[in-house]
Amino acid sequence: MLRRVPTDLPLFGALLFGLCLVSFGFAGMYTEVAIGRPSSTSGLGFFFIPIWGGLAAVAGLVLGFVVRAVWHALKRSEAETNTSALRATLACAVVAAAAAGALSVVHYEQAAEPRVRLDGGLLVREFRADLGKPVRTSTVLYDSDKKTATLSWGGNTSELVIDDDQVLLRDTTSGKNARFATAALDYITRVDAVPVLAEQGPSLLAIVICGRATGRRAIVATVDENYQVIFEEQVKRFWQLSDTPVEVRAGSEHDEYVVVGPYSYESLVLRRKPQH
């Protein structure tokens, strides 16, 4: 088996497509369990990966018949070649597919690691317990039921546009917008925003984009009135999805600041830097 060329090409195509897809899928699934953040439905892979592998095998079988027919038409002969190249190619391809499946998860997890994506130097960032006075709660711009809302702030009215791998915060009048890459979140569970006012300086808008529950990731960002992103961070979500993810508080100096995870043991606090 898998020694005769071109007779075994349909079988080779079926095994190549089917086994490579199964190898890629299961390697990725087990790697995610070992080092990643598997979703609550990841176990369905045991059911769907073989199904997709079977469909891929059918496609490979059909392609193999086509290649064999073309081979006969070009060679104009029934002569066959006995070779072990088909087996070696199949083995190498399956191993390569498994490595690609595992590496895709490793790459994704590296990209999803918590980090500051952008810091314009206008805010002070710290993790600490916060006892400031709440002055404003957030508005839910998007929730898991796909309900959307608009928010008026600083002379702007913002709406949310969700694409496959990004969230667009757009002004309904001027069309100005700010974009946030969300591939690390898998999918969007909810988006909250809250305006931050100040006696001196422009108004700001803080936005928190939460991903899937078991992914434990969120994106925290702040934009100015021109929709310029002045701060953006990818965080490990430390609050429950049912809790208010962000609110604005005021301290003794009466200047407003952002508190992400306001009722957590330690919150992410974003405060404007003093203006000299």
Q: What is the pLDDT of residues 17-64, one digit of tens each?
A: 999 999 999 999 999 999 989 988 888 999 999 999 999 999 999 999
Number of compact structural domains in the chain: 2
Supply the range of the domain harboring residue 224. 115-272
Angle among Cα 263, 120, 149 to the nearest 5 degrees reads: 55
pLDDT of residue 76: 64
Q: Are 236 and 216 in contact (CB under 8 A)?
A: yes
* Whether residue 122 is found in the same domain as residue 249: yes
Kindly report the pTM of this predicted structure.
0.85
* Whether residue 243 is found in the same domain as residue 128: yes
Closest C-alpha among 137, 158, 124 to residue 226: 158
* Domain closes at, from 49, 80, 111: 111
* Whether residue 86 is found in the same domain as residue 221: no
Q: How far is CA 38 from CA 32, 41, 45, 94, 180, in A?
A: 6, 8, 11, 23, 23
Q: What is the pLDDT of residues 173-231, one digit of tens each?
A: 998 999 999 999 988 999 999 999 877 778 899 999 999 999 999 999 999 999 999 99
- Is the pLDDT at 77 greater than 80? The verdict is no
pLDDT band at 276 (very low <50, low <70, confident <90, very high): low
3-class secondary-structure state, position 101: helix
Pairing of strands 139-142, 190-196: antiparallel
* Whether residue 128 is found in the same domain as residue 103: no
For all residues of the chain together, what is the average pLDDT? 91
Provide the β-strand partners of residue 267. 128
pLDDT of residue 56: 97
Q: How far is CA 21 from CA 33, 60, 95, in A?
A: 18, 11, 11
